[in-house]
A and B are shown apart, each in its own frame.
Chain A
Amino acid sequence: MSDLAYESLEDVEFPDDIHTTSTGISNEKLGMWVYLASDCLLFGGMISTYLIYKNRPGEIAGLSGNTHKVSEYFDIPFTSMTSFILLMSSLTMVLAVNSVIRGDLTRLRLWLTSTAVLGGLFLGGQIYEFTNFVVNDGLGFTSNVASSAFFALTGLHGVHVVVGVIMLLSMLAISFGTRIRAEAVEVVGLYWHFVDIVWVLIFTIVYLIP
């Protein structure tokens, strides 16, 4: 059978060959949304734990006792800048998704690279902030329960950003090789935006609310 005839037959039999699920949504996309919904529970637990312990540094018998709250050392202007960087990376991510939908691979690569670089800058800021806490302020992961809760929450978010950057770089590499699927970029974008909205919550609840 010639290629043309095969394609015609395929169009008749499988007019919608990507979305053959009963929901009309691809398994990858639905799977990502289910994962994100479950991640809400994970971050909810971490944020609640921080809220409960944030005012109780080093006073619980049997635990090591640095009596300083981690919030005493927050550098709000610096954290605001890193928040802005993450927000900007969300914009570059949606531009990447729009580019792949248009079939513009050059811009797709540009925006994916920009997003990964901005994610890297955010991580650099977080490493700088953590180093400051540990070296200059003497507040580490095990200094007190409040700092443990803080480092666990923001560190977990940082791990999510690292995974996101790896996914972005993978997408970039794929775009140079095989034919890239627009939906794959969209699914990576969903993950990246989720990382951004979790930071929206952390920035307000942990850093800005006194």
Chain B
Amino acid sequence: MSAAVTELDDDSPVNPGEHHTHGPTDGQYFKIFFLLVGLTALEVSTYWWDDIFNADTKKIAVPVLLTLMVIKFFLVALYFMHLKFDSPLLKRTFYAGMIIAILVYGAALTVMNFWSDSGTTHFNNPPIDPPAPFCADCPGG
């Protein structure tokens, strides 16, 4: 990819005097798009992996899906959103929000036992059996 070039485009018929930060060309955008389509197709294919390989592929599919998701996220953020070519201040602003979100909700999921989630209603902590109701006539009651 070409480096960012900031110029004062005084002759622009659209908005004279405006700064334009040039990112990728149309052709480069198409290449990035086809890469994204390929990655999405690979992601979607994991839905049929169990049938194709005739085995439980969850342990492989989940890390693959997460990796592809992160790659797609950064491809769009860096190139389509021009984060790679724009001011570092914008990068810091966006990454700060993202990192805070990951930390806060990572902590929240940990508190809720998400990583060892058994899927029970009680979030891995079944309720203690309630004490027997008071019975005046019962022996020892």
Chain A interface residues toward B at CB < 8 A: 15-19, 23-25, 29-30, 33-34, 36-41, 43-45, 47-48, 51-52, 55-56, 59-60, 76-77, 80, 83-84, 87-88, 90-91, 93-95, 98, 100-101, 103, 105, 179-183, 186, 189-190, 193-194, 196-197, 200-201, 203-205, 208-210
Which chain B residue lies CB-closest to A93? B80
Contact B114 A51 (CB under 8 A): yes
Sample of 8 further A-B pairs with CB below 8 A, known A37-B97, A208-B44: A17-B17, A18-B19, A25-B90, A30-B89, A45-B105, A48-B108, A101-B12, A103-B13
At the interface, yes or no: B100 with Cβ under 8 Å from chain A? Answer: yes
CB<8 Å pairs between A and B, sample of 5: A52-B114, A52-B123, A193-B80, A194-B81, A197-B81
Contact A209 B65 (CB under 8 A): yes
Contact A208 B46 (CB under 8 A): yes
B8 shortest CB reach to chain A, Å: 7
**0 or 1 for each of B104-118: is its CB under 8 Å from A? (1 = yes):** 110011001010010
Contact B33 A87 (CB under 8 A): yes
Which B39-70 residues have C-beta < 8 A from chain A?
40, 43-44, 46-47, 58, 61-62, 65-66, 68-69
Contact A76 B80 (CB under 8 A): no
In angstroms, Cα B3 to Cα A85, docked, is 30
Closest 10 CB pairs of A and B: A37-B97, A44-B101, A55-B119, A204-B69, A48-B105, A103-B13, A59-B121, A91-B33, A40-B97, A40-B101
Contact B12 A88 (CB under 8 A): no
B74 shortest CB reach to chain A, Å: 9
In angstroms, Cα B54 to Cα A146, docked, is 30
Contact B90 A193 (CB under 8 A): no
Contact B20 A33 (CB under 8 A): no
Which residues of chain A are within 8 angstroms of B81 by Cβ–Cβ distance?
189-190, 193-194, 197
Classify the secondary structure of A's interface with B.
helix
Cβ contact of B40, chosen from A48, A87, A103, A190, cutoff 8 A: A87
**0 or 1 for each of B60-99: is its CB under 8 Å from A? (1 = yes):** 0110011011001100110011100001011001101110
Chain B interface residues toward A at CB < 8 A: 8-9, 12-15, 17-20, 22, 24-26, 29-30, 33, 36-37, 40, 43-44, 46-47, 58, 61-62, 65-66, 68-69, 72-73, 76-77, 80-82, 87, 89-90, 93-94, 96-98, 100-102, 104-105, 108-109, 112, 114, 117, 119-121, 123
Contact A16 B97 (CB under 8 A): no
